[in-house]
Structures are given as C-alpha cells and as structure tokens.
Amino acid sequence: MMNTKLLGAFAAVALLAACESSSDQTAAATGTGAASTLGNGAAPRPGSQEDLVANVGDRVFFATDRSNIAPDQRPVLERQAAWLQRYPQVTVQIEGHADERGTREYNLALGQRRANSARDVLVANGVAGSRISTISYGKDRPAALGSNEEAWAQNRRAVTVVR
C-alpha cells in the first residue's frame, strides 16, 4: 500500500520534471549549454530566454528582508527594459523569490513585493505593464541549494522569464 503511494509521488515528480521547465533550470542549462552552442558559432535566438540570460541578465538580487531595487541592480532592469522594447512581441513573467531564513507565508508576500519592484522599474523605463505579469514563489524554489549566506544572497531574487 505504502509502496504504491510512494511510487505515485515519484511518478508525479518525474511528470513534473518532464513537462515543466523552470526558469532557473533553463538559465542554468543555457549557461552550460551556451558554451557548446556558441562554440559552434550559433547565437541564442534573439528575443528568447537564452538571449535574455546571455546578453542582458535575467535577474536582480535583494538585501535581506528588502524589496527595493538597489542602485547596483538597477542597470540590469534598465537593460531588460531596452531589450523588451527591441522585441515588442515578447511578454514576460517576473518571479519573486526569498531566501530560506524567513517564514513561508511572509516570504510569499515578500517575493510578490520583489517581483512588483522589478516590474515597476521596467514600466518606468517604457515597457507596457500589460506585457509583464508577476508571481511569487516565496522561499519554496531556491536557485542556490546551499544553506549559507552566498546561497541566500542568490535566492533573494526577481527573475524575468519570457513567456
């Protein structure tokens, strides 16, 4: 009985992995995959997530418990805004995330506020709000899997994902 249940859980995981593509995994995959692709002389397709990651930067980072865009992160969003104006057919979703050193519910709200902060900068730089949706995953989808300051800094993030 229990084995069947566990098998069910594993099947669900496999299914999820097969049909869903995480922005972080995409970013990581293109990070490593880009070397071989570029080695062949091919560039990422313009206007794609791979293009955004390789040539613009898909994410900004936040200080602990903060959701304002720090001055050193602003240029990334300004480049994203310019890139989005170059590809007007592209719509994006901004995913807000938090590190694991907070409670789940508060971090969900905090991740939403971080996504909104990033969105506000894109809009202030001329991107139509209708092209941008936001979502929060709180602390539940870490990009860096360690339990240390470096990992937490990487996880306090807003990631722009081409839809």
Partner 1 sequence: MMPKPPLIGRRAALATAAAATLVAPGVWSWPLPARAQQATQGAVIDITRARTDPIPIAVPDFAGTSPEAQRLGRDIAQVILNNLRNSGLFRPVERAAYIQTAEAAAQAPRFQDWRVIGAQALTTGRAEVGGDRIRVEFRLWDVLPEQQIQGTAFTAPIGNWRRIAHLISDVIYERLLGEKGYFDTRVCYVAESGPRGRRTRRLAIMDQDGENHRFLTDGSFAALTPRFHPNAQQIAFMSYFQNQPRVYLFNLDTGRQEVLGNFPGMTLSPRFSPDGRSVILSATRGNDANIFVVDLATRRERQLTSGGGLDVSPCFSPDGTQVVFNSDRGGDQQLYVMSADGGNVRRISFGRGRYATPVWSPRGDLIAFTRIANGQFAIGVMRPDGSGERILTEGWGMEGPTFAPNGRVMMYFRESPARDARGGGYSSRLASIDIAGFNERQIMTPTDASDPAWSPLLS
Member of 44, 54, 94, 142 binding partner 1 (CB under 8 A)? 142
Do the Cβ atoms of 110 and 63 come closer than 8 Å? no
Least separation in angstroms between residue 25's CB and partner 1 is 7
Q: What is the DSSP string of 7-65?
A: HHHHHHHHHHHHH---HHHHHHHHHHHHHHHHHTT--PPTTSHHHHHHHT-SEEE--TT
Nearer of residues 83 and 97 to partner 1, judged by Cβ: 97
Q: How far is the CB of 67 from partner 1 (least distance, A)?
A: 7
Nearer to partner 1 by Cβ, of 16 and 38: the residue is: 16
Nearer to partner 1, 88 or 129 (CB): 129
In the complex, minimum distance from the CB of residue 41 to partner 1, in angstroms, rounded to a whole number:
32
Determine contact, residues 64/105, Cβ cutoff 8 Å: no
Measured between alpha carbons, how far is residue 151 from residues 53, 56, 94, 114, 148 in Å?
19, 22, 20, 18, 5
- The contact mask relative to partner 1 for 10-29 (x = CB under 8 A, - = no) is x-xx-xxx----x-xx----
Region from 37-45, 55-63, 77-85, 95-103 binding partner 1, contact rule CB under 8 A = 95-103
**Amino acid letter for position 21:** S
3-state secondary structure of 162: strand
Number of shown-chain residues binding partner 1 (CB under 8 A): 41
Nearer to partner 1, 19 or 35 (CB): 19
